[in-house]
């Protein structure tokens, strides 16, 4: 028993490896077809799926994909074999009939679209399953392949299937390329599209026809049940990656093709496993990847931005404390001891040292060995002044322009000082008539002094720092 178990394990291991090697040698014609088909359908689904997602029509894709099943069965019954063309025609017609029924239901009754979609989807799919079961029980005829339409089997693709897929993909690509600006306008604002003389309903019907084509060519590889995921998931992935539609379409195609190829590969590893679920899982994996890593919308970058922001706020607060210590001292000294700083910030000595180290790492301060004190670099001084300036300007704005009492404004300014940009500061200055003292009577550092302050002669500085504005 043990020996046998070991041998089986050995065999499967070798086979998986062999399979992978076979996959990447691309020698097997069936494999080449499967891969080409998977990539073509990924491309096609990405192209059309992008428009589905931005138009919030994702459910329409789902409905059409389920509605085609009775058409597939009818095409099969036509001459009792898997004739790609007959199945293509039957399936497309069923898909279009489904979408036509949805639009009639919503136009003539008070039913809303989601309800109509749900009913049509289930009704057509039920009919399809009945027909497929019936075909499988027929005593005669070559029934092989009909079951593959449920969950997909890329390995069952033949040469003529690939030609069909390639022509549809070519057609879709060409039409999206030529009519990109019209598709964009119709998707964003159909009323306006009408106003700029775009034949909106033609585009709508044309799009639905292409969608039906795409679903149908994807059927054999992905299966009726999961086609819609190939339409939606790569497009949703791309939606997270960018803020422009043309880039979204590009990324969606990329994600679709990658998911198709990955699905074909994994199902090949597992010996004739249905390809649909593997493609959809690959697409979902890509989505998760984008969810965490996408620029701007991705979780990780957002987390990183928040983290670095909180780091910046911490550094700026330390800088401010150093500035305050220097200011209390009338800027007679250049350095501030950790002891003074920790008292000012109500921190332990260790915390202050860590904070000072952060300043040093950011290039804002030097910590001469053995001195236990912080010396600001010119850059650090400039930053400290900017922060203090923002803080005091905002306090002044709140008291003067927004009529807050002076003892209410400090905490608010603590937050705002870190986010005020140059533009806003300039606006504040103008509104405050370039005031030079905050509501607590402290001088507001001005940009003119920022450079000169650090290098100025210490003996010359007075208690109020000689904050006279250069005239």
Partner 1 sequence: MTSDPNIEAVRSSSGPLSMRWTQGLSDAEIPLEIHDLTVAYHHKPVLYGVDLAIPPGKLIGVIGPNGAGKSTLIKSIMGLLPTDSGWVRLFGKPNKKNLGRVGYVPQRESVDWDFPVNVMDVVMMGRYGKLGLFRRPGKKDRSIAAACLEKVHMMPFADRQIANLSGGQQQRVFLARALAQESDLYLMDEPFAGVDAATESSIIDLLHTLRKEGKTILVVHHDLPTARNYFDMLILLNMRVVDFGPTKEVFTYEKLQKTYGGRLTILSEVADAVRQTKA
Enter the DSSP assignment of 364: S
197 contributes a contact to partner 1 by CB under 8 A = yes
**How far, in Å, are 33, 186, 358, 416 from residue 351 at the CA level?**
64, 59, 11, 24
Classify strands 373-376 and 365-366 as parallel, antiparallel or unpaired: antiparallel
The site map against partner 1 for 212-251 (x = CB under 8 A) is ---------------------------x--xxxx-xx---
Q: How far is the CB of 78 from partner 1 (least distance, A)?
A: 37
Q: How far is the CB of 426 from partner 1 (least distance, A)?
A: 15
Q: How far apart are the first and last CA of the chain?
A: 98
Q: Given the complex with partner 1, which of 162 and 252 has the nearer CB atom?
A: 252
Q: How far is the CB of 355 from partner 1 (least distance, A)?
A: 34
* Member of 166, 198, 425, 435 binding partner 1 (CB under 8 A): 198
Using the contact rule CB under 8 A, the part of the chain among 19-27, 191-199, 217-225, 459-467 near partner 1 is: 191-199
Distance, in Å, from the CA atom of 255 to the CA atom of 253, rounded to the nearest integer, reads: 5
Q: Given the complex with partner 1, which of 19 and 103 has the nearer CB atom?
A: 103
Distance, in Å, from the CA atom of 48 to the CA atom of 230, rounded to the nearest integer, reads: 10
* Member of 17, 170, 188, 304 binding partner 1 (CB under 8 A): 188
177 contributes a contact to partner 1 by CB under 8 A = no
185 contributes a contact to partner 1 by CB under 8 A = yes
Distance, in Å, from the CA atom of 27 to the CA atom of 129, rounded to the nearest integer, reads: 36
Enter the DSSP assignment of 271: S
184 contributes a contact to partner 1 by CB under 8 A = yes
99 contributes a contact to partner 1 by CB under 8 A = no
Q: Do residues 314 and 355 lie in contact, with contact meaning Cβ atoms separated by under 8 Å?
A: yes
Size of the site for partner 1 (CB under 8 A): 27
* Member of 16, 80, 85, 196 binding partner 1 (CB under 8 A): 196
424 contributes a contact to partner 1 by CB under 8 A = no
Using the contact rule CB under 8 A, the part of the chain among 111-119, 143-151, 187-195, 347-355 near partner 1 is: 187-195
182 contributes a contact to partner 1 by CB under 8 A = yes
Q: How far is the CB of 102 from partner 1 (least distance, A)?
A: 18
The residues near 116 (Cβ < 8 Å, ≥ 6 apart) are: 101, 102, 105, 106
Q: Given the complex with partner 1, which of 178 and 402 has the nearer CB atom?
A: 178
Q: How far is the CB of 252 from partner 1 (least distance, A)?
A: 11
- Secondary element (H or E) of residue 291: helix 275-293
10 Å CB burial of residue 434 (0-12, 13-18, 19+) is exposed
* Member of 110, 137, 346, 430 binding partner 1 (CB under 8 A): 110
Q: How far is the CB of 35 from partner 1 (least distance, A)?
A: 30
Q: For residues 419-429, b (16+ Cβ closer than 10 Å) or e, as one string?
A: ebeeeebeebb
The residues near 29 (Cβ < 8 Å, ≥ 6 apart) are: none
Footprint on this chain of partner 1 (rule: CB under 8 A): 54, 56, 110, 178-179, 181-182, 184-185, 187-189, 191-198, 239, 242-245, 247-248
């Amino acid at each position: 028993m043990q020996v046998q178990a070991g041998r089986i394990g050995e065999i499967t291991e070798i086979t998986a490896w062999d399979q992978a090697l076979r996959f990447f040698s691309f020698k097997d014609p069936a494999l080449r077809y499967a891969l080409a088909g998977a990539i073509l359908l990924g491309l096609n689904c990405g192209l059309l799926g992008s428009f589905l997602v931005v138009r919030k029509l994702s459910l329409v894709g789902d409905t059409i994909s389920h509605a085609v099943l009775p058409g597939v069965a009818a095409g099969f019954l036509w001459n009792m074999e898997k004739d790609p063309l007959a199945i293509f025609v039957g399936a497309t017609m069923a898909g279009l009939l489904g979408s036509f029924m949805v639009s009639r239901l919503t136009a003539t009754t008070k039913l809303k679209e989601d309800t109509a979609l749900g009913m049509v989807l289930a009704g057509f799919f039920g009919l399809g399953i009945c027909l497929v079961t019936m075909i499988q029980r027929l005593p005669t005829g070559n029934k092989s392949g009909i079951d593959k339409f449920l969950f997909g089997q890329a390995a069952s693709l033949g040469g003529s299937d690939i030609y069909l897929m390639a022509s549809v993909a070519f057609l879709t690509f060409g039409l999206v390329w030529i009519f990109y600006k019209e598709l964009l306008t119709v998707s964003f604002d159909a009323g306006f599209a009408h106003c700029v003389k775009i034949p909106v309903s033609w585009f709508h019907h044309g799009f639905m026809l292409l969608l039906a084509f795409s679903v149908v060519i994807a059927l054999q590889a992905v299966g009726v049940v999961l086609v819609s995921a190939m339409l939606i998931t790569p497009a949703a992935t791309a939606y997270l990656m960018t803020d422009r539609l043309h880039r979204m379409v590009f990324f969606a195609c990329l994600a679709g093709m990658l998911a198709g190829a990955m699905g074909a590969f994994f199902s090949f590893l597992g010996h004739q496993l249905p390809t649909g679920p593997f493609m959809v899982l690959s697409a979902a994996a890509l989505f998760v990847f984008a969810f965490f890593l996408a620029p701007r919308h991705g979780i990780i970058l957002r987390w990183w931005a928040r983290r670095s922001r909180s780091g910046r706020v911490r550094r700026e607060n330390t800088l401010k404390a150093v500035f305050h210590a220097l200011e209390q001292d009338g800027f007679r000294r250049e350095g501030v001891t950790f002891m003074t700083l920790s008292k000012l910030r109500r921190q332990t000595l260790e915390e202050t040292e860590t904070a000072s180290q952060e300043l040093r790492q950011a290039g804002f301060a030097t910590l001469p060995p053995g001195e236990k004190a912080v010396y600001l670099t010119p850059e650090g001084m400039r930053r400290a002044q900017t922060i203090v300036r923002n803080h005091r300007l905002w306090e002044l704005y709140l008291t003067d322009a927004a009529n807050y009492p002076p003892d209410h404004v400090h905490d608010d300014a603590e937050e705002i000082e870190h986010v005020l940009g140059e533009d806003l500061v300039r606006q504040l200055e103008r509104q405050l008539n370039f005031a030079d003292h905050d509501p607590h009577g402290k001088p507001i550092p001005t940009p003119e002094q920022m450079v000169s302050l650090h290098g100025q002669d210490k003996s010359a500085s007075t208690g109020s720092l000689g904050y006279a504005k250069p005239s």
